[in-house]
Amino acid sequence: MSLQYIIDAYNLIRHPLCAPHAHKIRTPRLLAAFIRLRNLTGSAKNKVVIVFDGFAPEESSQACSGIGIIFSGEETADEYIHRMVESTSQRRTLIVVSDDKQVQMQARLLGACTLGIEDFMGEKKKSHRQRTRDESKPELTYAQVCSITKELKKLWLQE
């Protein structure tokens, strides 16, 4: 069973980890080639779609080395990604790559897996199943953090 990666393009390009590679990823085709050459999506059988905000430049091709390049047009890339995940029947095979918390939350709620940019760019030491299990751990909300902070303050300061 092959996986499908949906990548939030500008989220990836603008990440500090990509700064040293900026000259290699300045066009959509170069970004696709960079992803393929660094084997960031694992097997070549895995499908990859890179979603950009806005409209495609005239000279832009819509695919490169088996990687789909999509421009979201009038809607944001985040909205386009959400619609892609929503319209897919095999959501368990989807991996949405973005650091945008809202994009990640929406994808997880729909049953897709997510990867942050650092995990995507880093060494592939974890298997897909390990990433899925690790990411299913709940995180504290801001309200919960504030509540815990208040309780600890009372305990430490004996208020």
Residue 140 has pLDDT above 80, yes or no: no
CATH number at residue 22: 3.40.50
Total tally of structural domains belonging to the chain: 1
The DSSP secondary-structure symbol of 88 reads: -
Q: Which two tokens mark 2?
A: 């092959």
Tell me the pLDDT tens digit for each residue of 45-95. Answer: 899 999 999 988 765 556 666 799 999 999 999 999 999 999 998 899 999
Given phi > 0 = left and psi -120 to 50 = alpha, else beta, which region is 82? alpha
- Domain extent, residue 92, equals 4-157
In Å, the largest CA–CA distance within the chain is 67
Tell me the pLDDT tens digit for each residue of 88-138. Answer: 988 999 999 999 999 999 999 999 999 999 999 884 444 444 445 455 556
**28-67 as b/e: b if 16+ CB within 10 A:** bbebbbbbbeeebbeeeebebbbbbbeeeeeeeeeebeeb
